[in-house]
Amino acid sequence: MPPVATGGPRTLLRRLREIMAEQTSAQMRLDKLVTVIAANMVAEVCSIYLRRAGKALELFATEGLNPAAVHRTRMKAGEGLVGLVAETGEPVNLSDAPSHPHFSYRPETGEDPYHSFLGVPIVRGGQVFGVLTVQNRASRQYAEEEVEALQTVAMVLAEVVAQGGLFNVAELDEPDLSPERPRKFRGEGLSEGVAVGHVFLHEPRVLVERMIADNPQEELIRLETAIGALRDSVDQMLDSSELDLTGESREVIETYRLFAHDQGWRQRMRDAVRTGLTAEAAVERVQDEMRLRVSRLNDPVLRERAHDLDDLARRLLRHLSGDGNKAANMPKDSVLLARAMGPAELLDYRRDHLHALVLEEAATTSHVAIVARAMGLPLVSGVDEITDAARAGDLVAIDGESGEVHLRPAEEIVAAFEAKRTLRAHRVAQYAEVRDLPAVTRDGVHIRLMMNAGLLLDVPHLHESGADGIGLFRTELQFMIGETMPRLSDQIEFYSQIIDAAGDKPVVFRTLDLGGDKVLPYARWEREENPALGWRAIRIALDRPALLRYQVRALLTASAGKVLRILLPMVSDVSEFNQARALVDRETERMRLLVLPQPRQVLVGAMLEVPALAFMLPQIMRSADFVSIGSNDLLSLAFAVDRTNPRVARRYDMLHPAALTLIRQIVRSATEAGGEVSLCGEMAGRPLDAMALVGLGLRTLSMSPGNIGPVKMMIRSLNYGEVSQFVERLCGRADHSLRSRLAAFAAERGVVLK
């Protein structure tokens, strides 16, 4: 029979609290902790390993191993069983540790006699601070309740370590664990602009100060009461909110409702309370465990659901603490920080109080990035761990072009950013001067500059930016920010508002581009191994033709008496386009037979994002009225690169010779077939990239409205004949990127790139 613990977890937690309250040295308290834990767990060994520089794990205290090994034994990241626990963030429970492939023998510890091993991570805020282990000579598997008890102790220990309850965290020599020092982060600039302001945390973390429960039964009642209040508040939000694209959006509320009523989540928190934790600590522990598991998955859908659970846990903590939503009290110079958020959540914040946005996770083409650009907000994404490092009110400076973020910056850094912001404001004034002037090169070639949009609030930028029209209107945003599919009447009203606001300027409506990372909150979606190459866009439309016909019917009605331009996304085959166009024609014929008001003309185009279609331009031009190159997906697929994966995203450049050669071939094939071709994507909005595109023969570019001014100034300073000849020569080179050569050309010819 294996030994059993001499006291329950509540007894152990009481002893831990007493030890932590003692006025002795940190080392003496740690030594007492491992002795008490070992006795309670009936373990012959108990050890605490904490992080040092480079994420190495150092033995800080032990009961049972050689005391001389303390502060001498270190494990590199991922080394040994201790490193495995830290790396995976999961418990390791073994009856014969030496036989495990990760076992690393350390003779100085004297651990030869011990076979059974249980290690759990010391985790707080998604960061692993160390590892807590117990060992025994007998070969046995530790029981589930023993694992649970050790995890509870590790949870409390993590909070104490992180808050400096045992010693100054800076003693760990790990810079990212120090709460005070200035920090510099490097992310990806998704929306240009420079800002200096103070941190405002989106759904800020509630600081859990009381970890150990005095009365577990009372904590269970508090937890149940808070869960009930949370569920009521979510239900009220759903019952009272209406779809409003200007701010009162509910993109994730339906998901919150599902999770709020999830019995498994509730039971895990109840179980944690029963081990002796307070209700708040139980919520934190369950959420930390979930966050660590999901962070190691590559499934973007599951990662998004993890963000939903994070938000839900924070809401529950606020119910427990009695704190309300502080968004209404946002200061006027706020920089919003979040792990991730949806576009509707961003719209909830007051634009006049918001200076910039910093996210840990968001792709260049994500909808929150699109909305941020439409709002003129500087945005930096891919800034790992900044929400854990930042505190509300911290000074922060961000550059949405370079991707730099300085947290708690020095005075000279702030001065440099202020100077850059002033310079940028001067440039904006220069852009305003050319707003109403045509985008014509010095040798008389006219380039049409269109803007991308997806929300009603985008449309005023059409006139503010001087755009020639809307080259890409993403219709899926209207579907994604509601709890149910928009009714036909709602769609008609929405599209009518867009068309009326555009006046005489053209609007190209892209039909629903769903799938991949764009999932409707009210629809069922099957998990796919590679959603970007799976069931999405036109493929969904052809398999669910009623969805496309429903949308086309609304567009036809809204465009009565005008020219309707429809763009079909993700076309990879001519037959796909023909099938989809047949559905459009069917709806047009239906209106004719019913004698309903119709558009003056219906133009249907294909979005070229799949490289295969580039070789079918003559054939597609027989059916399509125009082709629009989606450079983001086209080049991502051509280079086999996931643009949302930071490990590979920077390994290719859109100004690679292969990219320019591919676009040149598309433009030439379309011209020879007598068709119209345009390009929308990141390339179009960067002056240097746009210069290359003009040199390749493109005459229509669609971009974020904020980029139209810089691109127009570039075009008006450019000689088309010169750049055309230069880019033609560059296509034959073998460089990894042509960016520096194009920049040198612009400098020599006086082309304005800023």
The 10s digit of each residue's pLDDT in 16-37 is: 778 877 777 778 888 998 999 9
Model confidence band, residue 295 (pLDDT cutoffs 50, 70, 90): low
Segment 396-419 mean pLDDT:
84
Segment 355-379 mean pLDDT:
77
Q: Same domain for 161 and 236? A: no
Q: Given 175, 210, 232, which residue is the final one in a domain? A: 175
Q: Given 141, 157, 175, which residue is the final one in a domain? A: 175
State the distance between the two ends of the chain, measured CA to CA, in whole angstroms.
Answer: 76
175-189, 540-554, 711-725: the lowest-pLDDT one: 175-189
Q: Same domain for 461 and 555? A: yes
Contact 133, 168 (CB under 8 A): no
Query: Which tokens in the block code for residue 683?
Result: 């390339």
pLDDT at 469: 95
The question of whether 731 is a catalytic residue gets the answer no
Contact 382, 187 (CB under 8 A): yes
Q: Same domain for 157 and 259? A: no
Segment 322-346 mean pLDDT:
72
How many helices (H) and strands (E) the chain has is answered by: 28, 22
Residue 318 has pLDDT above 60, yes or no: yes
Residue 171 has pLDDT above 60, yes or no: no
Residue 15 domain boundaries:
9-175
Model confidence band, residue 1 (pLDDT cutoffs 50, 70, 90): very low
pLDDT at 249: 31
Q: How many Cα neighbours within 13 Å face the side chain of 71?
A: 5
CB atoms < 10 A from the CB of 513, how many? 24
223-227, 484-488, 612-616: the lowest-pLDDT one: 484-488
Q: Same domain for 111 and 215? A: no
> In what side-by-side order are the strands of the sheet with 116-124?
74-75, 57-63, 45-51, 127-136, 116-124, 92-94
Nearest to 83 by CA among 55, 117, 116, 45: 55
pLDDT at 380: 92
Residue 314 has pLDDT above 90, yes or no: no
Q: Tell me phi and psi for residue 684, to 5 degrees.
A: -60, -30
- Assessment of whether the complete model's pTM goes beyond 0.85: no
Cα 418 from Cα 424, distance rounded (Å): 10
Contacts of 54 (CB under 8 A, 6+ apart): 76, 77
91-95, 174-178, 666-670: the lowest-pLDDT one: 174-178
Contact 45, 63 (CB under 8 A): yes
Nearest to 132 by CA among 141, 121, 123, 117: 121
Contacts of 156 (CB under 8 A, 6+ apart): 13, 16, 211, 212, 277, 281
Residue 409 has pLDDT above 70, yes or no: yes
Does 254 map to a domain?
A: yes
Does 417 map to a domain?
A: no
Cα 737 from Cα 457, distance rounded (Å): 37
Does 364 map to a domain?
A: yes
Q: Given 175, 208, 234, which residue is the final one in a domain? A: 175
Q: Same domain for 282 and 334? A: yes
2-11, 126-135, 425-434, 502-511: the lowest-pLDDT one: 2-11
Cα 57 from Cα 746, distance rounded (Å): 52
3 state SS of 518: strand
Q: Same domain for 192 and 319? A: yes
Does 155 map to a domain?
A: yes
The question of whether 680 is a catalytic residue gets the answer yes
Model confidence band, residue 323 (pLDDT cutoffs 50, 70, 90): low
pLDDT at 429: 78
Query: Which tokens in the block code for residue 698?
Result: 């493109």
Length of the chain as a residue count: 754
Q: Which of 202, 307, 406, 680 is catalytic?
A: 680
Segment 310-336 mean pLDDT:
74
- Domain with residue 131: its CATH number is 3.30.450.40
250-254, 463-467, 595-599: the lowest-pLDDT one: 250-254
Does 592 map to a domain?
A: yes
Residue 305 has pLDDT above 60, yes or no: no
Residue 605 has pLDDT above 70, yes or no: yes
**Selected residue with higher pLDDT from 280 and 365:** 280
Q: How many Cα neighbours within 13 Å face the side chain of 93?
A: 13
Segment 356-375 mean pLDDT:
74
Q: Same domain for 188 and 118? A: no
Does 429 map to a domain?
A: no
Nearest to 131 by CA among 117, 110, 146, 111: 117
pLDDT at 457: 65
pLDDT at 240: 46
CB atoms < 10 A from the CB of 376, how many? 16
| Block residue for tokens 């082309």 | 751
Contact 166, 156 (CB under 8 A): no
Q: Same domain for 115 and 71? A: yes
Q: Which of 367, 406, 461, 656 is catalytic?
A: 367
58-72, 286-300, 721-735: the lowest-pLDDT one: 286-300
pLDDT at 327: 60
Contact 559, 495 (CB under 8 A): yes
pLDDT at 246: 34
Contacts of 163 (CB under 8 A, 6+ apart): none
Q: Can you name the residues that pair with 407 across neighbouring β-strands?
A: 183, 396
Could you report the per-residue pLDDT of 199-258, keeping only the tens digit for each?
998 865 566 767 788 888 888 999 888 888 878 776 665 554 433 333 323 333 454 466
Nearest to 700 by CA among 502, 523, 545, 472: 472
- Domain with residue 490: its CATH number is 3.20.20.60
Query: Which tokens in the block code for residue 208?
Result: 């859990």
Q: Same domain for 159 and 194? A: no
Q: Can you name the residues that pair with 602 across neighbouring β-strands?
A: 564
Q: Same domain for 169 and 188? A: no
Model confidence band, residue 324 (pLDDT cutoffs 50, 70, 90): low
Model confidence band, residue 624 (pLDDT cutoffs 50, 70, 90): very high
Average pLDDT across the chain, whole number? 82
Does 414 map to a domain?
A: no
Segment 377-389 mean pLDDT:
85
Cα 663 from Cα 635, distance rounded (Å): 9
Which stretches does DSSP call E strand in 279-361? 334-338, 354-359
pLDDT at 566: 96
Domain total in the chain: 3
Residue 361 has pLDDT above 50, yes or no: yes
Cα 566 from Cα 555, distance rounded (Å): 9
Give the Å distances, CA to CA, from 463 to 432, 455, 706: 11, 15, 12
Q: Same domain for 366 and 391? A: yes
Residue 112 has pLDDT above 80, yes or no: yes
Does 415 map to a domain?
A: no
CB atoms < 10 A from the CB of 22, how many? 10
Q: What Rg do the C-alpha atoms of the chain give, in angstroms? A: 30
Residue 165 has pLDDT above 60, yes or no: no
296-305, 408-417, 538-547, 612-621: the lowest-pLDDT one: 296-305
Nearest to 65 by CA among 53, 82, 88: 82
Q: Same domain for 596 and 702? A: yes
- Domain with residue 342: its CATH number is 3.50.30.10
